[in-house]
Amino acid sequence: MINSKDIINVVLADLIEKYPFLDSYFNDNDLDISNYMQNTLTEFFSHFDEEEKEDKAFDEEQTLKNLVEYTNQMIEFLGIEEDGNTINSITIVSGTNKSGDEEKFAELKIHKSEIVCIVGPTGSGKSRLLADIEWTAQKDTPTKRSIKINDEKPDMKWRFSSSNKLVAQLSQNMNFVMDLTVMEFLTLHAKSRLIENVDDLVSKIIDAANNLAGEKFDLDTPITSLSGGQSRALMIADTAILSSSPIILIDEIENAGIDRKKALALLVGEEKIVLMATHDPILALMGDRRIVIKNGGIDKVIETTDEERKMLVELEKMDNVIQNLRSKLRGGDILNKNMIKEK
């Protein structure tokens, strides 16, 4: 922990050498220090005259307080990264449903690299379950559930830290909105996570995304003009490799332009806990277990049976047939009955 006395009389160049993340801090706060590198922080602050302060809405006390707070957060964050901050399991301890009845399970423990599906009608309480996990509920939400991490009561940092979020989300409605190319975008994301070997990581993500989408990525394409399958692939690869969150929630994955099986394998391979809200039988049976939600509570937890796993093989064949017909239609062909027969 540092305090303001430790930094106010340090020359800016030295400060940035010691805490490189402060370079982007000054930039993101619209403080141009380029002509003051050989001056101290106090000297830099005092160069603003009253009018400039008023115009920039600059408040020295507030700025210094924020600077100290941010530096301490980053020191702690970088420390955590070194110590390893791994999550091996999360446990949901049962609460009640909307009518106040006890949920019909005691504890549900989910390990990393496990896929658990969530099924149930819209409005049945899927969002609430997710929110309970994200908030690491301690009997203090409407469901009275509690969440344990690595079998223990979780640290409160999961609730409030902006860089340590428990749950990352991927859903059908998500789009890229930034005006950046694929390369710029990945670099920006990596930098915001204070990652050092940015280039290696970016190429790892691109390889993974290429593998999922089938169509090769051009790194200079603006992310907003990627095809549907490509955006989905990039989002999944980026979330798997670069997101800090140990749990990934997937809200359906469209069955077009992307290899869903490989996508799940990628997430599981990166040691994520995967929660998947889906009613697509192929995806649902890829899960190890599924949670059935009814009336705001967890009604059942079902292990995927051997029979279901065997069915998955059949379902995948049926799916291939349909995919095949789809691409024939796209190519302008006339369909015939033989195309439905298994090969």
Partner 1 sequence: MNLITVSGPPSSGKTSVILKTIDSMKTRGLKVGVVKFDCLSTDDDILYEKAGIPVRKGLSGALCPDHYFVSNIEEVTEWGLSNGFDVLITESAGLCNRCSPYIKDIKAICVIDNLSGINTPKKIGPMLKTADIVVITKGDIVSQAEREVFSSKVNTVNPGAIIMNINGLTGQGAYELSTLLYDEEKHVTDLKGKQLRFSMPAALCSYCLGETRIGESYQMGNVRKIDMEKK
Q: Which residues bind partner 1 (CB under 8 A)?
A: 24-25, 28-30, 54, 56-57, 59, 62, 65-66, 69-70, 73, 127, 130-131, 134-135, 140-142, 159-160, 162-163, 165, 168-171, 173-178, 185, 188-189, 192-193, 231, 235, 238-239, 242-244
- Long-range contacts at 59-63 (CB < 8 A, ≥ 24 apart): 63/29, 63/31
The least distance separating partner 1 from the CB of residue 285, rounded to whole angstroms, comes to: 25
Looking at the Cβ atoms of 70 and 105, the one nearer to partner 1 is 70
In the complex, the smallest distance separating the C-beta of residue 171 from partner 1, rounded to whole angstroms, is: 7
Contacts of 121 (CB under 8 A, 6+ apart): none
Cβ–Cβ < 8 Å for 270, 240? yes
- Cα 150 from Cα 167, distance rounded (Å): 15
Q: Name which of 73 and 88 has its Cβ closer to partner 1.
A: 73
Q: Rounded to 10 degrees, what is the CA torsion of 132, 135, 141, 144?
A: 60
Query: Least separation, in Å, of the C-beta of 305 and partner 1?
Result: 32
| Contact between 289 and 116 (Cβ < 8 Å) | yes
Beta-bridge partner residues of 274: 115, 248
The three-point CA angle 302-305-311 to 5° equals 125
Nearer to partner 1 (CB atom), residue 94 or residue 243 = 243
Closest separation in Å from C-beta 73 to partner 1: 6
Nearer to partner 1, 242 or 284 (CB): 242
Please state the closest distance from residue 135 (CB atom) to partner 1, in A. 5
Nearer to partner 1, 285 or 298 (CB): 298
